[in-house]
Chain A
Amino acid sequence: MNFSFLRNVLVKGLVLFLLSDLVFTAVNPAALGKLSLYNHLFTGRQRFPFGEDSSQSYNLSLFNLDAMFASHIIANRPKPADEYRVIVIGDSSTWGTLLRPEETLAGQMDAAGLSICGKAIRAYNLGYPTISLTKDLVVLDYALRYQPDLVIWLVSLEAFPADNQLSSPIVANNAARVEGLIARYNLPLDPKDPALVHPGFWDNTLIGQRRSLADLFRLQMYGVLWSATGIDQIYPSDYPPAQTDFNTDITYHKMQPPTLDSSQLAFGVLEAGLRMTGRTPLILVNEPMLISVGENSDLRYNFLYPRWVYDQWREMMSVRAEVGGWNYLDLWNIVPANEFTNSAIHLTPAGESLLTGRVEQTTLQQSCP
């Protein structure tokens, strides 16, 4: 071994690295996320990957929709002929913060063993813990390729404000998909909004993509512990309960009483979702929320909502549902306050059971195709 040999090793290594980086940038294998060991070597996840402390939750948050769906049990196999496929979309309450997969709405519906039109109802939890109608629309757009027979969409007012639409990381980091939806459904969103991340040349290189590549890899690795333990989030033995005492502030997203300005709410996105499903029936659910009894509860229902704004939004939803002929369930107050966990929309298993009962009733009333 001499110095020229060492120099050649270094130079060749560098050249190979630069070449592979260039090839990666040129090819930009966006569909890399579709390669997944889930549903093959590992059990498919019951809900989307999401989590902060991966070492304890065996889960992580990422923006790659291909990878998220590929890791989900919905991608396990083609839809069986005897399956009535229900997809459930929504926010963290649908995903099931502090709930085990079988305790969520989709999990409980699945466990009920119901059937309709001679087919077994199989519910898939496609909720994701950020609250934005646009995020739900992005998920729904992708999920329709899995041929649902019914879509259940749980919403809450907090998903409607215009300034919440693009802030979800999944939305912000899937700019091309969002722009496509904006164009296709004429959504009331700005495709040039700086919140949407448009990767540049360097972002598409191997180095620029290192974080997302690492996330894809980590998602596969945590498939082992998900399969081994069935754990996909941290279940603390204790947590701060949802707030029930409030100050007198009743502004909502810079909106002041007494009148709620509907132009500040993304009804257009909601209607796009209703149109997107086409002939597939969709049940729209105003999800249960905490009605607190505490200091200034006469001004606010809970941490999220002042009463004036929520009441007016509910009214708007009812009117629009009636005019539009939506299949709409307003279940805002069906769960008692003691069945909420750490936020105004996160339910206990018992609370989830109350919700499931009502949703199941409506599901069973669907007409056969």
Chain B
Amino acid sequence: MTLALILISIVVAGVLGLVLRNRWRIQLLLGISALAVYTFQPVLPVRELDFWLPTATLAFTTLTWIITTPHDKLSWKSNWPTAAILCGIVLALGLTRIQGFSLHLTASRPPQTLKIIAGVAAVALFAFLLTHYTKPNKAVLTCALVFFILLFVTLKVPLLSTLISKGLRSLNQQSTSLALAQDFRWLGFSYIVFRLLHTIRDRQSGRLQVVSLSEYVVYVIFFPALTAGPIDRIERFVEDLRRPLKLTSDDLGEAGKRLMLGLFKKFAIADVLAMIAMNATNALQVHSVGWGWVLLYTYSFQIYFDFSGYTDIAIGLGRLLGIKLPENFNAPYLKPNLTQFWNNWHMTLTQWFRAYFFNPVTRVLRSGKKPLPIPVIIFISQVATMLLIGIWHGGTFNFVIWGLWHGLGLFVHNRWSEFTRAPFAKLSARWKAVLNFGGVLLTFNFISLSWVFFALPSLSSSVHFLRVLFGLA
């Protein structure tokens, strides 16, 4: 996201925070967030796709609310204003096509109004059918779950997304030879789909509380957390949303502090480090071991400051709007082992995977008639979880290796800490401090080396760079 968009977001959040009164709070947040889904969406080369993807975000969110809400709570009377706001925004954005000047609210010129009306009508019809002819039973929820996972995989695997791009280009009579996986840069989709999956799974397990359509949509597309998270939990988010908004000087001070910190981390540190951080080009050009490590370490800090800077900005914006978004980072590079690193890096994502994958898988493996040995269970759960986290970032071989790297690292650390727990407890405080420091260095280097697979696009370039790092090139 550009600095200009972030500054506009800060101004909008500040004004909303100061003028919002509880009566219109959710509706205003809904409207602004729905607009942001379109405004933040980058331009895409496939014609009209940068309009239809945000529209699909709104449609999927609405439809998922329908299937995750008990039918007796699907009150048209109390939710029609939300549906009207969403439809109104989509149609109004469509109408900007015919005005004489551009408001830059959409990435490019919206499609023809008739097409948009047809699209909105199709979603409304589908919503009607879902409401009247289905029940929020397990089958429907499972179908939705499978659909979102398949859609997610399709967009993350370059081969599949390129195929879809070719299909859409062909429909639009655009050159299919130019189709790329990057044609499908769907703003915030990774986060949005995980919020949707979270609510579907919680509905399946009966844990999901009933929320209104407006609360649900604001939770899924809350504009400060749209592009880079964090992934909040709906029950916590809605609790904040329902709490009367009274901005105190503490809120303003905290919001200002996080915003300044975030802007500084992102634009003064991360963007500067990005100039010299390891990337696909310089990884093949670097010719010395020492400078190779400099580029690698620079990347390690760049990705941290970039991501945690965005999180600070999101938390600061949220605070202005009365939402205390969860923390995502807690000095992860200062942790003495990989387990602690993952408890403090992109915390909301790891918590999501822990809740919806690691714990259920571990339960299943432990509850069999012939339970597997504990180390085997830990191995399977950790490696599979990290593999999925790797694929969440992108469906390429390099992300798979990155996931495996961390999965194996976590397993080895788990076994090592089990093995050394007793002797470690007997050590003096000084020795513990020394080992702790050594652990921080070791963990940081282990993580930094894993970024080679994360940041570089192919296995060959990763291997080449690793050879440079160890003087084997």
Contacts and interface: CB of A to CB of B under 8 A. Distances in A.
B287 interface: yes
Interface of A: 1-3, 5-6, 54-56, 217-218, 221-222, 224-225, 227-231
A53 to B, nearest CB: 11
Given A218-B275, A222-B276, A228-B292, A5 B253 contact: yes
A317 B298 CA distance: 53
16 contacts: A1-B249, A1-B253, A5-B253, A6-B252, A6-B256, A218-B275, A224-B294, A224-B298, A225-B276, A228-B285, A228-B287, A228-B291, A228-B295, A229-B287, A230-B287, A231-B285
B285 A229 contact: yes
A226 to B, nearest CB: 10
A6 B287 CA distance: 50
Interface string B260-296: 0000000000001001100001100111100110110
B301 to A, nearest CB: 13
Contact of A228 (B250, B254, B282): B282
Nearest to B298: A224
B288 A1 contact: no
Contacts of A217: 272
B283 to A, nearest CB: 10
Interface in B212-260: 249-250, 252-254, 256
B249 A224 contact: no
List the 5 closest A-B pairs by CB distance, nearest first: A228-B291, A229-B285, A1-B253, A224-B276, A228-B286
Most chain-B Cβ atoms within 10 A of its Cβ — which of A1, A54, A227?
Answer: A1
A54 B276 CA distance: 11
A221 B275 contact: yes
B291 A2 contact: no
A26 to B, nearest CB: 25
Contacts, number: 48
Contacts of A56: 281
Contacts of B282: 225, 228-229
B295 to A, nearest CB: 6
A64 B291 CA distance: 27
Nearest to A224: B276
A100 B322 CA distance: 57
Contacts of B253: 1, 5-6
B249 to A, nearest CB: 5
Contacts of B287: 228-230
Nearest to A217: B272
B292 A6 contact: no
A197 to B, nearest CB: 27
Given A218-B275, A221-B275, 17 more contacts: A1-B253, A2-B249, A5-B249, A6-B256, A54-B275, A55-B275, A56-B281, A217-B272, A221-B272, A221-B276, A222-B275, A224-B298, A227-B291, A228-B288, A228-B292, A229-B285, A229-B291
Contacts of B272: 217, 221
A143 to B, nearest CB: 29
A223 to B, nearest CB: 9
A55 B285 CA distance: 13
Interface in B416-466: none
A222 B275 CA distance: 7
Most chain-A Cβ atoms within 10 A of its Cβ — which of B275, B286, B288, B298?
Answer: B275
A221 B277 CA distance: 11
Contacts of A6: 249, 252-253, 256
A55 B271 CA distance: 12
A309 B291 CA distance: 51
B359 to A, nearest CB: 39
A225 B292 CA distance: 10
Most chain-B Cβ atoms within 10 A of its Cβ — which of A221, A228, A229?
Answer: A228
Contacts of B286: 228-229
Interface string B314-358: 000000000000000000000000000000000000000000000
A6 B272 CA distance: 29
A55 B168 CA distance: 33
Nearest to A227: B291
Contacts of B252: 3, 6
A345 to B, nearest CB: 28
A231 B288 CA distance: 13
A318 B221 CA distance: 76
Contacts of B249: 1-3, 5-6
Nearest to B288: A228
A274 B276 CA distance: 42
A2 B292 CA distance: 48
A82 to B, nearest CB: 28
Most chain-A Cβ atoms within 10 A of its Cβ — which of B252, B254, B282?
Answer: B282
A227 B298 CA distance: 15
Most chain-A Cβ atoms within 10 A of its Cβ — which of B287, B291, B292?
Answer: B291
A215 to B, nearest CB: 13
Contacts of A1: 249-250, 253-254
Nearest to A4: B249
Contacts of A227: 291
B251 to A, nearest CB: 9
Nearest to B290: A228
Contacts of A224: 276, 291, 294-295, 298
Contacts of A225: 275-276, 282
Contacts of A5: 249, 253
